[in-house]
Amino acid sequence: MKLATDSSALAKRYIEEPGSDKLVDLLAPADELGVCVILLPEIVSALNRRIRENVITHKEYRRIRGQLLDDIRDATILQITSPVVVGSITLLETNTLRAMDALHIACALEWRADLFVTSDKRQFAAAKQAGLSSVFLGG
């Protein structure tokens, strides 16, 4: 199974939140993991925000960052190509989405993911409307 995930969902692998257990269950049977090229900077940004808010320490950040880099080493990094940009524009014109969320969906569509996983309600609805089999992990 080709599983694509956005940042909000994959972050649950590193920070215990509602939906973390479900994500682990979804990742286990996946043959391939696809992530949009923007996923890594988005998760690093979120982790650094947690440092500033004193939710995690610098030591925890380094451990999580290392685990993230190890996890995506074997993932397919989905690039923002011309068809992905065009697809994201269509998604933005037909849904209430942020640009980055549209890019995650457009990458998953272009890659022909079997399953798309997110923790964002609007992104979940847009992905389903676009024809992606999708799972909402909650947020």
pLDDT at residue 122 tops 90? yes
> Which letter, b or e, does each residue of 70-101 get, where b requires 16 or more Cβ atoms within 10 Å of its Cβ?
eebeebeebeeeeebeebbeebbeebebeebb
Per-residue model confidence (pLDDT) at position 139: 60
Per-residue model confidence (pLDDT) at position 16: 87
The pTM (predicted TM-score) of the whole model is 0.94
Looking only at Cα atoms, what is the longest distance across the chain? Answer: 42
11-20 tens-digit pLDDT:
999 988 889 9
32-91 tens-digit pLDDT:
999 999 999 999 999 999 999 999 999 999 999 999 999 999 999 999 999 999 999 999
Domain assignment of residue 34, given as a range: 2-136
25-46 tens-digit pLDDT:
999 999 999 999 999 999 999 9
Give residue 41's Cα distance to chain centre: 11
Domain count, the chain: 1
Chain-wide mean pLDDT for the chain?
96
CATH of the domain at 87: 3.40.50.1010
Per-residue model confidence (pLDDT) at position 138: 80
